[in-house]
Structure 1
Amino acid sequence: MSSEFSIILEEFDEELEAIRAVILAFSDPKAGTPKTRVASVNSATLLLAATFEEFVREMARTYARSVVRSSKRFEEIPKKIASTAWKRSMEYLARLHIDIGDKSSSHEALFSDALARFNAIYEFCRGDLTQDVYKDLIHNEHNMRPNEINGLFKVSDLTNICRAVCDKKPLLDTFSETQPEKTHGQLLSGLEDFFERRNQIAHSIAIMRSSGPDLVLKDINLLSQFGKALCETLETVVPRPKDRAVSERPSADL
């Protein structure tokens, strides 16, 4: 039976295969002009980064949901889940542009969304663990570099996930290593290098700058194997659901 994590991984792998197909299609010197080939590689790199970021967020959200589902009472969940969800929900609401007096349908929809988001986090922090607060809870402000990845899982009391995945076969084989610590160092370097190149592409006006198809294919392989190692790790450490009793409203501050 497939786990929630493996289903997300399957979708991620399908998206990676689509990006790989684009790279291979334009790697032939006969496939369009040089500028076309460079543009295709650069676009694929940006898409690869966005796809990877969404994959990591979905894995972190699923893990956070599992942690909450495994708790019988509000007081049993990691304290950082509630406090972070509250803070980020309030930050989201504070960013909304509310034009008082606007009665348009789009503005009414904005009000409805704001009310739903507030009610969800309010009821969650009052003890209703069925509320969906995970979109605001799991959110990255920056590129999905190692520290950002670790931060998304640390909210749920899973520390240094980038180190935890490095004793798994997919990454050990990728780096031809037997020692997790050396694999960890190479993983950190690989992720940092990828996002550095991604940022150079995003911020460069010169379209002729490109990582080259071979390097992007290597990036795809690294992110794919990281995904497999992450899935294996989460399936190992995820807490199992318990029969949840009716939650008492928490008395502790956020």
Structure 2
Amino acid sequence: MTTVFEVIAEEFIDDMEAIRSLVVTFSDPKQLSKARIAAANSATLLVAATFEEFVREMAREFARAVVAGTESFDKLPANLASTAWKRTMDGLAKVKFDNAKKAGSENIFGAAQARFTMIYEFCKGDLSKDIYRELIHNENNMRPREINGLFKVSGLKDVCSMASDKQPMLDAFGVTDAGKAHGRFVESLENFFERRNEIAHSLNAKQSSSPEQITTDIEMLESFGRALCETLGTAAPLPYSLPALVAGEATTSLATMVGAPEVPPAGPAN
């Protein structure tokens, strides 16, 4: 039975393989130096963005699974609802009135009202409401601490350590000890985002990651993606198969993508 985590991970691997193919095209030393640097820098930024969106999608679906497996609002993980509420309110506070006048206040404030109503009804006990885009949001680069934080809100602590004992991670770093795999993953991911930030914050970069380095980055991130998929498939409170998905734009598109029958939204919790 295919899980939503497997579908997201497969799409992530496909996206990474597409970038890997791109890397080959600018590895030819006959290409102009500036062109190779620009291509390498673009590939690095694309790898980072693809990885960050992958982790967000996995965290949203895990949160959705946790809520689907919860009997009532008062049994949700301690900070899930309060975090979703706070982030929704923070987002609403950033609505710009100048933009509202230009675009039409009815559309902007109508959307704001819909966002408020969604989290309000959820906190009243209607667990079918789709609050996951507001809930799962990273403020900083998707470093290990940030990854762990996205899953901790759903009651899963230190997901990076949990993933480190899976075979894809052990194989990636050539070790048999989960602690060593975790340490090397943390170091590798931190180094990757340091390089990513150097590229993003420099207007006149004269050097960039080599094709070999970018390929190594991709392999590391793919290994974590596979390990994360395995970890969440085991940790999810229900057999979270595609035909059992609850309402939501992201999950509806996934169900359509694999030909699974769509399931109507779940009713309010009793």
TM-score after normalising by structure 2:
0.87
Q: Deviations over 1:199-244 (max 9, x none)?
A: 00011122322011110100000000000000000001100179x8
Instruction: Flag the 1:46–1:101 CA change in 2: closer, same or farther, 3 A.
Output: closer
Q: Following the alignment from structure 1 to structure 2, what is the Cα–Cα distance between the partners of residues 208 and 100?
A: 38
1:53 aligns with 2:52: yes
Contact kept, 8 Å, 1:27 with 1:213, in 2: the verdict is yes
CA distance in 2, matches of 1:134, 1:184: 28
Q: Aligned-pair distance for 1:108? A: 2.2
- Provide closer, same or farther for how the CA distance between residues 117 and 101 of structure 1 changes in structure 2, counting only shifts above 3 A: closer
The alignment status of 1:227 with 2:225, answered yes or no, reads yes
- 1: distance between equivalents of 2:29 and 2:98? 54
> For the residues of structure 2 that align with 1:99 and 1:241, how far apart are their CA atoms?
47
Matched, 1:95 2:117: no
Pairwise CA RMSD of aligned residues? 1.9
Residue 14 of structure 2: aligned partner = 14
- Give the match for residue 159 of structure 1: 157
Larger displacement relative to structure 2 (90-99 or 219-228): 90-99
Give the Å deviation of 1:14: 1.1
SS in 2 for 1:87: helix
1:144 aligns with 2:166: no
Whether the 8 Å CA contact 2:126–2:267 is kept in 1: the answer is no
Alignment match, 1:27: 27
1:203 and 2:201 are equivalent in the alignment: yes
| Contact 1:72 1:245 (C-alpha < 8 Å) held by counterparts | no
Aligned counterparts of 1:153 and 1:101: Cα–Cα separation in 2 = 34
Among all aligned residue pairs of Structure 1 and Structure 2, give the percentage whose two residues are the same amino acid: 53
User: In 1, Cα distance between the equivalents of 2:65 and 2:38?
Assistant: 41
Q: Tell me how far 1:187 sits from its aligned partner.
A: 0.5
Unaligned runs of 5+ in 1: 249-254
2:98 is the alignment partner of 1:76: no
Q: Which residue in 2 is equivalent to 1:252?
A: none
Q: Secondary structure at the match of 2:125?
A: coil
The corresponding residue for 1:125 is 123
**Counterpart-to-counterpart distance in 1, 2:162 and 2:100:** 52
Q: Does 1:43 align with 2:65?
A: no
Partner Cα separation in structure 2 for residue 137 and residue 101 of structure 1: 24
| 1:124 partner amino acid | F
Q: Is the 8 Å Cα contact of residues 128 and 267 (structure 2) preserved in structure 1?
A: no
Look up the equivalent residue of 1:240 and give its one-letter code: L
Instruction: Tell me which residue corresponds to 2:269.
Output: 247
Contact 1:68 1:77 in 2 (8 A): yes
- Greater shift after overlay, 208-217 or 137-146? 208-217
What is the CA–CA distance in structure 1 between the aligned matches of 2:268 and 2:223, rounded to whole Å?
Answer: 41
Structure 1: how far apart are the matches of 2:201 and 2:190?
A: 16
8 A contact 2:84–2:119 mirrored in 1: yes
Taking the aligned partners of 1:144 and 1:226, their CA distance within structure 2 comes to: 13
User: Once the two structures are superposed, what CA deviation does each residue of 1:106-141 show, in whole Å capped at 9, x if it has no partner?
Assistant: 432211210110000000000000001101100001
Tell me what 2:166 maps to. Answer: 168
In structure 2, distance between residues paired with 1:119 and 1:105 = 22
Distance in 2 (alpha carbons) for counterparts of 1:211 and 1:100: 40
2:252 is matched with none
- What TM-score do the two structures reach when normalised by structure 1? 0.92
Q: What is the SS of the residue equivalent to 1:79?
A: coil
Per-residue CA deviations over 1:53-83 (Å, capped at 9, x if unaligned) read 0000000000000000001211111121100
Contiguous gaps of at least 5 residues in structure 2: 241-265
Structure 1 residue 101, shift from structure 2 partner: 8.7
Instruction: Determine if contact 1:124/1:131 at 8 Å carries over to the other structure.
Output: yes
Aligned length: 246
Residue identity matched to 2:229: C
Q: 2-side partners of 1:221 and 1:40: how far apart?
A: 19
Using the alignment, how far apart are the partners of 1:245 and 1:111 within structure 2? 27
Structure-2 separation of matches of 1:161 and 1:223: 15
2:259 match: none
Counterpart code for 2:269: S
- In the alignment, is the contact (CA less than 8 A) between 1:138 and 1:152 conserved in 2? yes
